Structure 1
Amino acid sequence: MPKIVLLENIHPSAVEVFNAAGYHDIVTHATALPPDALRAAVHDADVVGIRSRSHLDRSILDEAPALGVVGCFCIGTNQVDLATAMEHGVPVFNAPFSNTRSVAELVLAEAILLLRRIPEKNARVHQGHWDKSASGSFEARGKTLGIIGYGNIGSQVGTLAEAVGMRVIFHDIEAKLPLGNARPYSDLASMLAEADVVTLHVPGGRATENIINAQTLAQMKRGAILINASRGTVVDIDALRAALDAKQIAGAALDVFPTEPKGPDEPLASPLIGLNNVILTPHIGGSTVESQENIGREVAEKLVRFLQSGTTKGAVNFPELPYQAPAGASRILHVHRNEPGALATLNSLFAERNINIVSQQLQTKGPIGYVLTDTGERVGEDVVAALRRHPITVRCELL
C-alpha cells in the first residue's frame, strides 16, 4: 500500500477519495512544515499532497526516493520544482478548474464594491460619518471589464460580468475562443485604455512579473479600478500606490502579494495598508467550502487514477497518457531518458524474457519519455529490477 502524506489542512474529501479506492495509509498535517520537518515527512512517502505554502524544491525531492507522484491541491504549481520532479520521473497534478467559480465571484464582487465606493463608505460609517453622496459611485451595468489572461478563471469572470450588464474585453498571449460577447484585444495598451475595471488572471513567473507597472498603470483609463487575484508578483505595488495617490487609479483589490505572511498572526507589510479605496484579502480567492471540497476530490481522483493505472492526463510537468483500462496480466510504468532507441531497448528486455506485449502507450516531453506496457504474462520484481538497472531508465514501477 502506498504511503500518502497530505499537508496544509487539505479538505477531508481527498481522504474520502483515497479511502474509497482502498488506500488507507494516510498521514495528514494541518499546516505547512519547516524545511527540515517537511523533508522528514515526505522522505518515505509515495504520494505527497500540498497547497501553496509547502515548497518541494530540489533539496526536498532529491531526498524522497519513494516519491512517485505529487498533488497540488490548488491551481498554482510554482511551489514545486517541476523540472526536478520530471527528472525524477514524478508527475505533478493540480486543480485548474475546481475553484474557478469562487475566484470569479470574488472578483466580480470586488469590482461592484469598488465601483460603488463601498470600502470607503463602510469605513466612514464606522468612524461616525453619514455620507450619502453619490459622487464617484457607479453601476457595473454598462461599464467595460478588461481581463488580462483569458483562461479558466478569466473567461468565467467575463461570463459573470456580462450577466450584470458589463461589456467584456480581454487580452491573452494565446488565441482564445471568446465566450458570450467578449472581444479579444491583441494589444494590451489598447485594452487598458478602454477598461473601467481591469482584472488579472495570469500565471506567475518571469514572463508576467510586474506586467502592471508605472507604464501600464499610466495606460489605464483615468479613474479605473485594478483587481489582482492571480499572483502577487504581477503587480508593482509601489507603482500602484503612486497611481492611487495621483488618482490615476480610483481603487484596487488585491488577494495576492509579492511577499505574504507566513502565518495567521503575522501582519501583511504593504504600502497599500490603510487606504480606504483598496480592498486587501488574505489570498482567499479560492477559499470557499465548495471550492476546497471540489479541489480535494479533483486532485485526489487524479492521484488515484495514476496509482491504479499510471494515467498522467492533466499532469503539468509530464508526458500525458490518457486512461486506458489494463489489458494484460501486469502493467509496467517506465520513465526513461528521451533518446533514440529507448522504446526498442525496453522491448528488447521484454523479448529476452519471453514476455508478450499486449498493449503499449508512449508519450514524450522534453528530456523524458513515459511508457505504459501491459503484458500477457505476470511480471515479477526481477524484471522490474532489471529495467531499473538499465542506464536509460529514470523510474520503473509495477502496478
Structure 2
Amino acid sequence: MPDTHQPAHELSLAKDRIRILLLEGVSDSAVANFNAAGYATIQRVTKALDEDALIEAVHGVHMLGIRSRTRVTARVLEAADRLMAIGCFCIGTDQVDLAAARARGIPVFNAPFSNTRSVAELVMGEIVMLLRGIPGRSNAAHIGVWDKSATDSREVRGKTLGIVGYGNIGAQVSVLAEAFGMRVSYFDTIPKLPHGNALGAPTLRALLEESDIVTLHVPETAATVGLIGTDELARMRQGAILINNSRGKVVDLDALRAAMESGHLGGAAVDVFPEEPESKDQRFTSPLQGLRNVILTPHIGGSTIEAQSRIGEETSRKLVDYSDTGATLGAVNFPEAVLPARPRGARFLHVHGNHPGTLAAVNEVFSRFGANIAGQYLQTDPQIGYVVVDAEGLDDAGAVLSALRALPGTIRARLLYERR
C-alpha cells in the first residue's frame, strides 16, 4: 500500500525537523555524530521502555535508537507513524521484529563488530584469573584468610585454548592468546582461515578433548542451543575451564554445575544466561552461584567505554547515511544499496514488494514526467525491493512522488532531496 507516513506535500524533510529518540543511555558519541551531521532534535532516555510506554514515545519519531533491553514489536511499529529507520546500538538485533519492520519499509542497523576487542580482552582476563584460582583467593582475602599457596595455580603459557566459533571475536581471542604463549585450536562449521599458528579442529569433540580451556563464540541458533551439555562437558579434560561469553542458551547450566561440583572441571566463566533480569532492580539467580572458581558477570562482555563509543559512532553513522543519501549498507533486514550523493537533481527512494515489473513501472513514472534518470540502484531480497533513483529535469518532484506512491506494491516512497 502507498506510504502514509509522509504526506505528499512534504518533500525533503529538513534535518532540524527530523526527530530522533535514543533510549537506554546510548553513548554520547552517537549524539555528537548526529549533531555534526546537522541533526539536533534528539531526545535521550537513560532507561529501556516497555511496550506500552514505547508505543506512546515513538509517535512522531523518525529515527529510533535502542540497545538490547528495549523490544520493538509489531505493535510498536504499527504505532510508529513517522519512523523511517531503527538503530540497534549493540551487537544483536533480536529485540526488533525485523520482518514487521521490513514490511513497513523500515531498515534496521546495528554495530556487529564494534565490541570485538572488549569481549576478547574479557576472555583473556578470565583465563588468567581462573588458571590462578583468583576468585577463591580474592573471596578469602576479603574475609581475612591469607592463602599464598601455589596449589592449583597455573600459568597461561603453554596451555591449549579451544575456540568454538572462529568469527570476529573468536579470531581476536586467537591473536591475543598466541601473544600469551598459548597453543590455539578452533572449530567452526564454516571453513575459516586461521590467524597466526592456530589450527582448525576437525570436530567439536576433538577440540573439547584436546583443550585446557574452551571458550565459546557462537550465535544463538537452533543448532547452537544446548551445544554444550552433559556429554560435551564429560569429553573435556580433567580440570579444564569453560568460558561462555556468547549466548545464554548455548550451555546447559545445570550440567555445568554438576561438572564443577564433581571436580571434573576446574573453573568456569559465564557472562550470558538463558534468562536475564530486565533491570538491576530484579534479582539474578543462576545454578552456578556459590560454586568455587566460577566467575559470573552480568552480560558485560562488550560493555566498555571504548566499545560503547565505537558502537555509538558506527550505528549513528549508518542512520545518518540512510537519512542523507538513502544508503542501506549494513542493514540487517533490508536490501543493501549505496549511491553517492549528487550535487543537483532529485533523489527518490522506493520500497516495494519484490514483484516482476515493478522497476519498469517506476521508470515509466519518471518517463511520464519527462525526467532524465541520472543514476539508479536496485537491490532486492525475496520479499522486498529497494530502488534509489536520481532524476534531473523535473518541474514537479511532488507529483512524481505521488505517482510513485500510487504504484501497486509500494510499501514506502520518499523524496530524499531536491537540488537545483
Query: So what's the TM-score if we normalise by structure 1?
Result: 0.96
What residue in structure 2 maps to residue 95 of structure 1?
111
- Please state if 1:217 is matched with 2:233: yes
Equivalent in 294, 297, 302 of residue 286 of structure 1: 302
**What is the alpha-carbon distance in structure 2 between the residues aligned to residue 377 and residue 49 of structure 1?**
37
**What is the alpha-carbon distance in structure 1 between the residues aligned to residue 131 and residue 104 of structure 2?**
49
Unaligned runs of 5+ in 2: 1-16
What residue in structure 1 maps to residue 410 of structure 2?
393
Q: 1:326 to 1:186 in 2, by over 3 A?
A: farther
CA RMSD, 1 decimal: 1.4
Per-residue deviation, 1:346: 1.1
Contact 1:71 1:299 in 2 (8 A): yes
Deviates more, 1:201-210 or 1:13-22: 201-210
What residue in structure 2 maps to residue 352 of structure 1?
368
- Please state if 1:241 is matched with 2:247: no
**What is the alpha-carbon distance in structure 2 between the residues aligned to residue 181 and residue 149 of structure 1?**
17
What residue in structure 2 maps to residue 141 of structure 1?
157
What residue in structure 2 maps to residue 301 of structure 1?
317
What residue in structure 2 maps to residue 261 of structure 1?
277
* Partner-residue secondary structure (3-state), 2:223: helix
Per-residue deviation, 1:102: 1.0
**What is the alpha-carbon distance in structure 1 between the residues aligned to residue 58 and residue 221 of structure 2?**
26
What residue in structure 1 maps to residue 92 of structure 2?
76
Deviates more, 1:49-58 or 1:77-86: 77-86
Equivalent in 142, 152, 155 of residue 126 of structure 1: 142
Unaligned runs of 5+ in 1: none
Per-residue deviation, 1:147: 1.1
Letter in 2 for 1:63: A
**What is the alpha-carbon distance in structure 2 between the residues aligned to residue 60 and residue 215 of structure 1?**
42
**What is the alpha-carbon distance in structure 2 between the residues aligned to residue 221 and residue 125 of structure 1?**
29
Equivalent in 184, 204, 207 of residue 188 of structure 1: 204
What residue in structure 2 maps to residue 29 of structure 1?
45
**What is the alpha-carbon distance in structure 2 between the residues aligned to residue 323 and residue 204 of structure 1?**
34
CA offset digits 1:214-238 (Å, max 9, x no partner): 2221222221111111111211111
Per-residue deviation, 1:163: 0.6
Q: 1:363 to 1:229 in 2, by over 3 A?
A: same
**What is the alpha-carbon distance in structure 1 between the residues aligned to residue 205 and residue 84 of structure 2?**
45
Equivalent in 328, 350, 356 of residue 334 of structure 1: 350
Equivalent in 382, 392, 397 of residue 380 of structure 1: 397
Contact 1:117 1:277 in 2 (8 A): yes
**What is the alpha-carbon distance in structure 1 between the residues aligned to residue 254 and residue 308 of structure 2?**
32
Q: Give 1:107-126 correspondences, 5 Å limit.
A: 107-126=123-142
**What is the alpha-carbon distance in structure 2 between the residues aligned to residue 14 and residue 323 of structure 1?**
23
Letter in 1 for 2:122: L
Contact 1:328 1:377 in 2 (8 A): no
* Partner-residue secondary structure (3-state), 2:181: coil
What residue in structure 1 maps to residue 14 of structure 2?
none
Contact 2:107 2:333 in 1 (8 A): yes
**What is the alpha-carbon distance in structure 1 between the residues aligned to residue 315 and residue 70 of structure 2?**
16
Contact 2:51 2:73 in 1 (8 A): no
Per-residue deviation, 1:266: 2.0
Q: Give 1:145-184 correspondences, 5 Å limit.
A: 145-184=161-200
- Structure 1 stretches (4+) deviating beyond 6 angstroms? none
**What is the alpha-carbon distance in structure 2 between the residues aligned to residue 324 and residue 222 of structure 1?**
58
Q: Give 1:307-322 correspondences, 5 Å limit.
A: 307-322=323-338
Deviates more, 1:104-113 or 1:124-133: 124-133
Per-residue deviation, 1:29: 0.5
* Partner-residue secondary structure (3-state), 1:206: coil
Greater RCO, 1 or 2 (C-alpha within 8 Å, sep 6+): 2
Deviates more, 1:211-220 or 1:33-42: 211-220
**What is the alpha-carbon distance in structure 2 between the residues aligned to residue 377 and residue 218 of structure 1?**
72
**What is the alpha-carbon distance in structure 2 between the residues aligned to residue 49 and residue 89 of structure 1?**
17
**What is the alpha-carbon distance in structure 1 between the residues aligned to residue 131 and residue 60 of structure 2?**
52
